[in-house]
C-alpha cells in the first residue's frame, strides 16, 4: 500500500503499530483519531496468518506498507 501523505518520522516509525499510538506531527494531531488503525490492522493480518509492516516512510513524501496474507 503506497500513499503520498505526510509520511512518518523515524521516531514514530518505531512505535506506529502500538495501541492508541498516533504520530507526533502537528498535522496528525489536528485531525481526530484513536490511534488504533494500524494496531488493529496488524492484529487482523496476524490472525489470518499474515503480516503488516511499514516498508519505508519519509516525512513529506509518504509511506509504503506491505500487507501479506496466505493464499486460500
pLDDT in tens, 1-59: 999 999 999 999 999 999 999 988 888 889 899 999 999 999 999 999 999 999 999 99
Which domains are present in the chain? 2-68 (3.30.565.10)
pTM: 0.87
- The three-state DSSP-derived secondary structure of 5-62 is CCCCCHHHHCCCCCCCCCCCCHHHHCCCCCCCHHHHHHHHHHHCCCEEEEEEEECCCE
Amino acid at each position: 500500500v503506497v500513499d503520498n501523505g505526510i509520511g512518518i518520522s523515524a521516531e514514530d516509525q518505531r512505535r506506529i503499530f502500538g495501541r492508541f499510538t498516533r504520530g507526533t506531527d502537528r498535522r496528525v494531531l489536528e485531525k481526530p483519531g484513536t490511534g488504533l488503525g494500524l494496531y488493529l490492522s496488524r492484529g487482523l493480518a496476524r490472525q489470518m496468518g499474515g503480516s503488516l509492516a511499514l516498508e519505508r516512510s519519509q516525512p513529506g513524501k509518504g509511506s509504503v506498507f506491505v500487507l501479506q496474507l496466505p493464499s486460500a
